[in-house]
């Protein structure tokens, strides 16, 4: 498959090999996928998660503070307004995401369908482990399903995500593929794994013939054991992405960094990312942060799908139709005011 590396992590042993791999990955990305870069945002359904035990996760810090999980759910109108806003500015919904146990399956299906209608294409799901029967009910509604594996080091997983064993995720990915759904995973770099663990990721992508991998760099949240951890280096994230690109030329790779790691974007794109994600839209749109993202894309020689700066597009839509119309319009106004303030 075009990979000439001895072992995946040899990419980190020699800077010339790293540079050479990024160069090849850039060429391969342009050849297979072209120049376009998507801006993606996960649409969160709630701030509640029944598991609440992943030590890096913001939701784990909220679990004891939330008395009534029903009140941690977002209003339907807010969710739909966010989808409409993404459509207007040309972003993709990375996936529909919510903590475990906050919604019934029927509600998730209904919301996913509505988001797909707004965005003009079915979106992905990242709502925990679903059985084969549950997955089948999303046929035609979801494009694919994502398993948030976070790390593939078993010792780390047991410590960091004790409530989220990997076996059910493996089963879900197999079932999803059997049902004709696309499959993906999210991983977070910086949880304690290192270059020597890269082969686990490569093997996992191979074993499950994944269509998409989202490679986040750790965003150290306050009140978590990672609050004072340094996010991983830009070149580590880029090396992981380049190794994936060279081994899996067709794979969709999305790179996620936080607002304080924006310079990572350019090198992640050169290494083969198709899209970028994880940015606080409302804090960054139309200001110097959004401009910085666009410049990173520009200087990587790539072209942006949509915009991170064009405020005129925020209002570029017809009145929202249907029974949710008035509420969605009100939520849209609130979001646009927040961006413009």
Which single residue is written with the structure tokens 């509640």? Answer: 48
Tell me whether residue 46 or residue 234 sits nearer to ligand SF4 (CB atom): 46
Minimum CB distance to ligand SF4, residue 99 (Å): 4
Q: Which residues pair with 275 in a beta bridge?
A: 38, 254
Instruction: Kindly state the smallest distance separating residue 325's Cβ from ligand SF4, in Å.
Output: 31
Query: Least distance to ligand SF4 from the beta carbon of 222, Å?
Result: 15
Shortest Å, Cβ 219 to ligand SF4: 12
Give the side-chain half-sphere CA count within 13 A for 119: 29
CB of 238 to ligand SF4, least distance (A): 24
Q: Which residues pair with 93 in a beta bridge?
A: 41
Q: In the complex with ligand SF4, which residue's Cβ is closer, 59 or 246? A: 59
Q: Which residues bind ligand SF4 (CB under 6 A)?
A: 49, 51-54, 57, 59-60, 99-100, 148, 164
Q: CA torsion, points 204, 210, 214, 218, in degrees to nearest 10?
A: -10
Nearer to ligand SF4, 52 or 239 (CB): 52
Nearer to ligand SF4, 8 or 98 (CB): 98
> Do 130 and 106 touch, CB atoms closer than 8 A?
no
Residue 60 or 264 with smaller CB distance to ligand SF4: 60
Tell me how many degrees the CA angle 254-159-233 measures, rounded to the nearest 5.
40
For residues 17 and 11, the answer to whether their CB atoms sit within 8 Å is yes
Q: Please list the residues that pair with 124 across neighbouring strands.
A: 144
Residue with tokens 């200087």: 299
Largest CA distance in the chain: 59
Provide, rounded to whole angstroms, the least separation between the CB of residue 80 and ligand SF4.
Answer: 22
- Among residues 258 and 289, whose Cβ is nearest to ligand SF4? 258
């Amino acid at each position: 498959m075009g990979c000439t590396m001895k072992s995946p992590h040899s990419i980190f042993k020699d800077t010339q090999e790293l540079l050479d791999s990024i160069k090849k990955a850039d060429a391969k990305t342009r050849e297979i996928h072209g120049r376009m870069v998507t801006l993606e945002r996960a649409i969160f359904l709630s701030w509640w998660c029944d598991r609440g035990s992943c030590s890096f996760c913001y939701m784990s810090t909220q679990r004891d503070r939330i008395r009534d999980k029903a009140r941690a759910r977002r209003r339907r109108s807010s969710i739909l307004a966010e989808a409409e806003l993404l459509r207007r500015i040309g972003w993709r919904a990375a996936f529909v995401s919510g903590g475990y146990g906050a919604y019934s399956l029927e509600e998730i299906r209904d919301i996913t369908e509505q988001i797909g209608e707004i965005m003009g294409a079915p979106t992905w799901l990242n709502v925990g482990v679903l059985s084969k029967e549950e997955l089948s009910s999303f046929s035609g509604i979801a494009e694919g399903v994502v398993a948030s594996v976070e790390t593939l080091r078993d010792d780390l997983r047991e410590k960091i995500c004790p409530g989220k064993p990997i076996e059910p995720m493996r089963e879900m990915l197999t079932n999803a593929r059997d049902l004709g759904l696309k499959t993906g995973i999210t991983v977070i770099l910086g949880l304690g794994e290192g270059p020597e663990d890269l082969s686990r990721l490569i093997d996992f992508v191979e074993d499950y013939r994944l269509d998409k991998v989202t490679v986040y760099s750790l965003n150290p949240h306050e009140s978590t054991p990672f609050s004072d951890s340094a996010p991983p280096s830009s070149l580590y994230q880029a090396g992981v992405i380049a190794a994936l690109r060279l081994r899996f030329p067709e794979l969709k790779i999305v790179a996620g960094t936080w607002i304080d790691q924006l310079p990572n974007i350019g090198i992640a794109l050169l290494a083969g990312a198709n899209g970028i994600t994880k940015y606080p839209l409302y804090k960054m749109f139309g200001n110097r942060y959004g401009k910085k993202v666009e410049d990173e894309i520009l200087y990587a020689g790539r072209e942006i799908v949509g915009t991170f700066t064009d405020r005129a597009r925020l209002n570029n839509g017809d009145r929202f139709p249907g029974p949710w119309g008035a509420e969605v319009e009100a939520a849209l106004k609130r979001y646009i005011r927040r961006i413009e303030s």
